[in-house]
Structure 1
Amino acid sequence: MSTTFDEMQKRMNHLGNLNNFIEDLFEKIPGNLISKKQQKKLMDVVMNDDELKLLLEGLKNPRPPRFVLVGRTGVGKSSFINAMSGHYLAEVSDVEIGTKEARRFTYESDGQVYFEVIDTRGIGESETFKVKAEEDLLEVIRDFNPDALLFLQKATERAHIDKDIEITKRIIKKANVELPLVGIITHIDELHPSREKKPANYPTEKKELIREKKAQLMRIFNEYDLKYSAIIPVSSYIEWSGTSDNPEMKQTMDFDGRYGIEELLDFLESSIDVRAAIHLGMTIRLNKVAEKIANRFIKVFSAVAATVALSPIIATDIAVLLALQTILLMIVAYLSGRDLEFKTARELLISIGGIGATGFTLRMIAQQGSKFVNLVLPGAGSAISASIASGGTYAIGKAAVAYYLKDVPESKLKNIVKEAREEFDGLSE
């Protein structure tokens, strides 16, 4: 296995242990900051977020996404799967699934399964596709329990699409399963001028043809009253080095002409079962999954910081907020593959949070000073303090994401904090 793959596996295992890490983290908060009772209460509040629970559950039990592919021979299914993963994957046929109208595959590399796929190329190509074959296929799809149905149509062809859509609609209706149907227009790189394979250099006429092909497929779906979740034009054009005939030779990407793949992955990760979405992201876009989880933690911790700050007693919440923000920073660091000691994280917090100890201290004084307003107008000062605490926590979280997950240098974090603060203020209006 390559070093890159080893690192990916190590990071995946690291993320899979996030639940245990968080439990240990709250227990390690120094007793001079907050009591054991406060530790438990903080953890219970943080971990009570429904969306966060789903993400963490997905991390504990990820599984390869399962797709049903509809599309004729030559539509470029294997190239499309490779383009989605960014790897040259081995197509491994599983045991017979009881109907010649479909074949089941796993797509894998270095022992890691990326996708499980049912390829239904037989449904439109067979002139003998009768009721019995359709029933067999329905049974296979039900047993397979797919996450999405991907309808692949070649951009340069129009023939047979009506028949394929008719059969697809019938199967979806009879299968009686709720799953996203994604229309995927493949080979858009072959549209005129086909010599231009680099998406950044696509001329206006090519972009217009892509829009026309998308509108055309939308019209056909609508004509047949077939509900779709998305229609995405893609190019899977990649030039690989090495020889696929030699399994020992590693295939690497020499030229990347992919188009629309990021949009497709974004859609799938937000639409399919969270366990499959987590696996998809962890094997293909590890940092993006980590960032998604980090952003949820930022949202949760910011809300908790506001609640903590609503305490009307001057100075009682500084220790709790310091602990809360330090934990947030440690979680973001953990998501990047790093383990920080509490003391190190607290020192980094002061640096990131205020870009220097003075800035951090002044903000804390400003937060606590606002509570003196309570002496005149009960409750008003706490509301001001809650906004400062919540916004500050949000900004610290965003700075940690920039620093640990996006490799932004520490010298630029001051601007990140400022922009995040402005962003938070905009969201709060």
Structure 2
Amino acid sequence: MNPQFEELQKRMNHIGNLNNYLEDLLAKIPGNLLSGKQQAKLMDVLLDDSDLTSLLEGLKDPRPPRFVLVGRTGVGKSSLINAMSGRYLAEVSDVEIGTEEARRFTYESDGQVYFEVIDTRDIGESEAFTKDADAEAELAAVVKAFRPDAILFLQKATERAHSDIDVESAKKMMLSAGYGLPMVGIITHVDELNPSRIKDPADYPPGKLALMEDKKGQLRRIFKEQKVPVDAIIPVSSYIEWSQDPDDLSEVERGELTIGFDGRYGIEELLDFLEQSIDIRAAIHLGMTIRIHKISERIALRFIKVFSTLAATVALSPIIATDIAVLLSLQTVLLMIIAYLSGRDLAFKTARELLVSLGGIGATGFTLRMIAQQGSKFANLILPGAGSAISASIASGGTYAIGKAAVAYYLKGVPEEELNKVVKNARDEFDRGLE
């Protein structure tokens, strides 16, 4: 197993046990900065948030994503899985799952499971299946027990026949699961669209890109006609030339193949969609196994979103000035978590110094924003609740900006002298989101 994966998993699991992790962090806060009552308030705010709880559970217990693949023979399912992982994965068939209409696979490499998949390749191709209620019920039971994270509907870009039948099959898969699922329409083999000789996505001419848009529109219309909700339609090319011919190698040797020519298109967009749409545990595993260089940043951004909301909760306290220590401690904890994701274990003093440096000393600096935040609470004397709402917006936006600066500094290597610019841009980004 990848040592970097193991180290990152260890760190995420540690953060996931937030009760213990918070005790470690809060123990580093000097006693004169946060009273026992304020410390209890901070713990209550953190541990009562459902979004944070979901994120922590995902960090403690990531698992391989589970997909149901719907598509005809030759549509490129295994090629898509390999393209998503960037590795030539071993396709391992599981034990009998109780139906002849589907097979269950795991896709593995070096003892690491990347995906769990049910391939319903025969559905739509077999008229007997569409008329066999027992077979349909068996498959429905299998899909429901599998509890997939998403249905991936695959259609080859150069073919359109039977699309309506296949979309109907995808609809049955969604209903069989028994709960709302992301449905992704994936148009495969877009590299084979004219001019098919051009395999490098950087060289795709406008005409080829226009054909992809036409294919997207056609598939979207079919989903609409069949009254099947589809969350995204993504054209992809899984075209990869491996360093050696996989057919000439053993299974172990295939796992060591490297990419000789990379003709992949749309795969990053697909991975982005899945990471944002599927169960958090599966999304974290997906990022850790496939895009380990990006996963820390993505997890940090999730923490920023949660902590920005928590900052607003703290700031809604109607009592003037009582929440400043709690809010600043909350922001410092966010900095320490992001630093920890980067592999650094900060002392509270070091994180606090960076927080202060991000505050700025000018009229538009964060320090005066905090003063303005507290001043806004005087509005409560005139219109109860109005000042606290203003205060919450300022606190939330400031926390968001500080988190983004921490990502830039610890995960992207942006120099400290450039962080005030990052903070300003993040504040503007946050404010635009409120418009």
State the TM-score, normalized to the length of structure 1.
0.86
Going from structure 1 to structure 2, the CA distance change for 1:29 and 1:133 (only over 3 Å counts) comes to same
**Aligned-pair CA distance for 1:378:** 5.0
Which residue of 214, 217, 225 corresponds with 1:215? 217
CA contact 2:34–2:326 (8 Å) conserved in 1: yes
Going from structure 1 to structure 2, the CA distance change for 1:28 and 1:98 (only over 3 Å counts) comes to same
Q: For structure 2, which runs of at least 5 residues remain unmatched after alignment?
A: none
CA contact 2:304–2:400 (8 Å) conserved in 1: no
| More off after superposition, 210-219 vs 138-147 | 138-147
Going from structure 1 to structure 2, the CA distance change for 1:210 and 1:288 (only over 3 Å counts) comes to farther
Distance in 2, Cα, partners of 1:165 & 1:363: 53
Match of 1:34 in 2: 34
Please tell me whether residue 155 in structure 1 is matched to residue 186 in structure 2. Answer: no
CA contact 2:308–2:397 (8 Å) conserved in 1: no
Match of 2:190 in 1: 188
CA contact 2:101–2:120 (8 Å) conserved in 1: yes
Match of 2:320 in 1: 312
Going from structure 1 to structure 2, the CA distance change for 1:101 and 1:288 (only over 3 Å counts) comes to farther
Match of 1:226 in 2: 228
Distance in 2, Cα, partners of 1:287 & 1:91: 28
Distance in 1, Cα, partners of 2:201 & 2:55: 33
**Aligned-pair CA distance for 1:307:** 3.8
Distance in 2, Cα, partners of 1:389 & 1:139: 49
Distance in 2, Cα, partners of 1:61 & 1:16: 8
Please tell me whether residue 394 in structure 1 is matched to residue 400 in structure 2. Answer: yes
**Aligned-pair CA distance for 1:98:** 2.6
**Residues 195-221 of structure 1: per-residue CA shift (max 9 Å, x gap):** 222323321101110011111112222
| More off after superposition, 82-91 vs 65-74 | 82-91
Distance in 1, Cα, partners of 2:184 & 2:274: 9
What is the DSSP-based 3-state SS (H/G/I as helix, E as strand, rest coil) of the residue aligned with 2:414? coil
What is the DSSP-based 3-state SS (H/G/I as helix, E as strand, rest coil) of the residue aligned with 2:144? helix
What is the DSSP-based 3-state SS (H/G/I as helix, E as strand, rest coil) of the residue aligned with 1:219? helix
Please tell me whether residue 293 in structure 1 is matched to residue 302 in structure 2. Answer: yes
Which residue of 355, 364, 367 corresponds with 1:364? 367
CA contact 2:147–2:177 (8 Å) conserved in 1: no
Distance in 1, Cα, partners of 2:177 & 2:327: 52
Going from structure 1 to structure 2, the CA distance change for 1:360 and 1:410 (only over 3 Å counts) comes to farther
CA contact 2:123–2:169 (8 Å) conserved in 1: yes
CA contact 2:28–2:347 (8 Å) conserved in 1: no
What is the DSSP-based 3-state SS (H/G/I as helix, E as strand, rest coil) of the residue aligned with 1:345? helix
Match of 2:46 in 1: 46
**Aligned-pair CA distance for 1:365:** 5.9
**Aligned-pair CA distance for 1:351:** 3.0
Give the aligned length: 420
Match of 2:332 in 1: 326
**Aligned-pair CA distance for 1:11:** 0.4
**Aligned-pair CA distance for 1:191:** 0.6
Please tell me whether residue 347 in structure 1 is matched to residue 387 in structure 2. Answer: no
Match of 1:197 in 2: 199
Q: For structure 1, which runs of at least 5 residues remain unmatched after alignment?
A: none
CA contact 1:70–1:119 (8 Å) conserved in 2: yes
| More off after superposition, 113-122 vs 164-173 | 164-173
Going from structure 1 to structure 2, the CA distance change for 1:350 and 1:107 (only over 3 Å counts) comes to same
What is the DSSP-based 3-state SS (H/G/I as helix, E as strand, rest coil) of the residue aligned with 2:398? helix
- AA at the equivalent of 2:430: F
**Aligned-pair CA distance for 1:68:** 1.0
Distance in 2, Cα, partners of 1:161 & 1:339: 54
Alignment of 1:159-174 (within 5 A): 159-170=161-172, 172-173=174-175
CA contact 2:149–2:279 (8 Å) conserved in 1: yes
Match of 2:262 in 1: 256
Going from structure 1 to structure 2, the CA distance change for 1:329 and 1:169 (only over 3 Å counts) comes to closer
CA contact 2:311–2:327 (8 Å) conserved in 1: no
Identity across matched positions, percent: 63
- AA at the equivalent of 2:320: P
**Residues 331-390 of structure 1: per-residue CA shift (max 9 Å, x gap):** 111233322111222222233443xxx569975367448867989995798887666554
| More off after superposition, 259-268 vs 31-40 | 259-268
State the TM-score, normalized to the length of structure 2.
0.85
**Residues 392-421 of structure 1: per-residue CA shift (max 9 Å, x gap):** 333222110111223323232121012122
CA contact 1:312–1:374 (8 Å) conserved in 2: yes
Please tell me whether residue 25 in structure 1 is matched to residue 25 in structure 2. Answer: yes
Which residue of 271, 282, 286 corresponds with 1:276? 282
Distance in 2, Cα, partners of 1:188 & 1:412: 42
Match of 2:121 in 1: 121
Going from structure 1 to structure 2, the CA distance change for 1:223 and 1:321 (only over 3 Å counts) comes to closer
Distance in 1, Cα, partners of 2:8 & 2:164: 45
What is the DSSP-based 3-state SS (H/G/I as helix, E as strand, rest coil) of the residue aligned with 2:124? helix
